[in-house]
């Protein structure tokens, strides 16, 4: 191992939710997300001794998880819609629930999986990871304008879809 076993265990405990959630929301497939997340931590294990600070580790994990998830999505041509029911039926811990209805969240997840890849990735990094557009642009190696455009298009599309499928969001013209 590149880093000590105890250290790796600690890093997994600290970052597994972030890595797994990025992988899950981008690939849209539970099993693929676990595979991606495992691969990311194994890669960290090999190259962890080069990562100096905790911030560096978090940034590295976020970047590698995003790129591995995009690769998996392209390689396997995962159809997120196929996994949506599995996702809704799965039990997930809700430790950081912020008052959002679970059913609503699941349906939002389902809609997210129908977005084209660039929009989905931008939305995940913006609203799950709370990254700014310029940070997302740096992580993805794209221009800020393109990230902003994907965010705006993704939001508009999500909202439009929500208006058609979720009565909670029928609040006037879209």
Partner 1 sequence: MDQSEEQLSRFEEELSGAMRRVDPPEGFAERVMARARANDKPRARIVRFPHRTRVWVSGAIAAALLAGVFVAEQMRLRQERERTELARQQFEAAMRITGETLEQARQQLQQAGVRVGTDGN
**Rounded distance between C-alpha atoms, residue 131 and residue 135, angstroms:** 6
Q: Which is nearer to partner 1, 141 or 172 (CB)?
A: 172
1 touches partner 1 by CB under 8 A = yes
Distances, alpha carbon 49 to alpha carbons 9, 32, 44, 157, in Å: 14, 27, 9, 42
* 3-state secondary structure (DSSP) of residue 109: helix
From the list 24, 1, 15, 22, the residue with the least C-alpha distance to 125 is 22
139 touches partner 1 by CB under 8 A = no
Of residues 7, 8, 58, 135, which one binds partner 1 by CB under 8 A?
Answer: 8
Tokens of 96: 């950081």
What is the x/- site pattern for partner 1, positions 58-97, by CB under 8 A?
A: ----------------------------------xx-xxx
51 touches partner 1 by CB under 8 A = no
**Rounded distance between C-alpha atoms, residue 136 and residue 128, angstroms:** 12
Tokens of 64: 């590698």
Q: Which stretch binds partner 1 (CB under 8 A): 52-60, 71-79, 134-142, 153-161?
A: 153-161
Task: Map tokens 């609503």 to a residue.
Answer: 104
Q: Which long-range contacts (CB under 8 A, 24 or more apart) does 125-132 make?
A: 125/22, 125/62, 125/66, 126/151, 128/21, 128/22, 128/25, 129/18, 129/22, 129/62, 131/62
Site for partner 1 in 21-40 (CB under 8 A): 21, 24-25, 30, 33-34, 37-38
18 touches partner 1 by CB under 8 A = yes
115 touches partner 1 by CB under 8 A = no
How big is the site for partner 1, counted in residues (CB under 8 A)?
50
Q: Which residues bind partner 1 (CB under 8 A)?
A: 1, 5, 8-9, 12-13, 16-21, 24-25, 30, 33-34, 37-38, 41-42, 45, 92-93, 95-100, 104-105, 108-109, 112, 123-124, 127-128, 130, 155-156, 158-159, 162, 169, 171-174
């Amino acid at each position: 191992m590149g880093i000590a076993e105890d250290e790796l265990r600690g890093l997994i405990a600290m970052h597994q939710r972030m890595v797994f959630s990025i992988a899950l929301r981008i690939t849209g497939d539970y099993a693929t997300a676990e595979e991606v997340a495992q691969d990311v931590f194994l890669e960290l294990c090999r190259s962890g001794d080069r990562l100096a600070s905790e911030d560096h580790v978090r940034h590295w994990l976020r970047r590698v998880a995003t790129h591995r998830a995009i690769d998996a999505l392209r390689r396997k041509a995962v159809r997120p819609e196929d996994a949506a029911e599995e996702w809704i039926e799965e039990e997930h811990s809700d430790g950081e629930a912020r008052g959002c209805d679970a059913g609503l969240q699941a349906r939002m997840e389902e809609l997210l999986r129908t977005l084209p890849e660039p929009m989905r990735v931008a939305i995940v990094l913006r609203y799950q990871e709370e990254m700014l557009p310029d940070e997302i642009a740096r992580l993805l190696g794209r221009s800020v304008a393109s990230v902003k455009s994907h965010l705006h298009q993704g939001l508009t599309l999500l909202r439009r879809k929500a208006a058609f499928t979720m009565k909670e969001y029928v609040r006037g013209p879209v």
